[in-house]
């Protein structure tokens, strides 16, 4: 039983490390899939990422990172903590209000 608990703990630690390694990676929210957005932005799971893609499909590309607050479930704090990793068409970083 001890060996099983150690193995389980190691597997969980590895999975957590892999998930956090992807979070915080730059992502172009105008072209990335929902899965890529969810993996790349901190605090954005698959459901919110799918909402970002649906909003983009319905309203066209995002022009500013701050437009993400128009997506249900995305607040300014989420945008702010991911601002350095949000890319729009060609990898441009956008400051608030730019």
pLDDT value at residue 30: 97
Place of tokens 């039983």: 1
Whether 73 maps to a domain, the answer reads yes
- From first to last of its 98 residues, the chain has per-residue pLDDT tens of 566 566 666 665 555 444 444 568 999 999 999 999 999 999 999 999 999 999 999 999 999 999 999 999 999 999 999 999 999 985 455 545 55
Q: Phi and psi of 28, rounded to 5°?
A: -85, 105
34 lies in some domain: yes
Domain presence at residue 98? no
CA distance 57 to 22: 24
Report the candidate in 55, 54, 35 with the shortest Cα–Cα distance to residue 45: 35
d(CA 96, CA 68): 12
Among 98, 91, 14, 84, smallest CA distance to 42 is for 84
Tell me, what's the pLDDT at 97? Answer: 52
Give residue 89's pLDDT.
Answer: 80
Query: Is residue 78, in this structure, part of any structural domain at all?
Result: yes
What's residue 69's pLDDT?
A: 98
Q: Is residue 37 part of a domain?
A: yes
Q: What is the CATH number of the domain that holds 16?
A: 1.10.150.280
Question: Strand, helix or coil at 88?
Answer: strand
- With respect to residue 85, please indicate whether it lies within any of the assigned structural domains: yes
What is the tally of structural domains in the chain?
1
């Amino acid at each position: 039983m001890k060996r099983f608990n150690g193995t389980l703990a190691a597997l969980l630690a590895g999975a957590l490390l892999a998930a956090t390694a992807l979070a915080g990676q730059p992502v172009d929210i105008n072209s990335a899939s929902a899965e890529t957005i969810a993996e790349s932005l901190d605090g954005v799971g698959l459901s919110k990422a799918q909402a970002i893609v649906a909003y983009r499909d319905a309203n066209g590309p995002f022009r500013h990172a701050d437009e993400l607050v128009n997506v249900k479930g995305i607040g300014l704090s989420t945008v702010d903590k991911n601002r350095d990793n949000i890319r729009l068409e060609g990898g441009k970083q956008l400051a608030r209000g730019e």
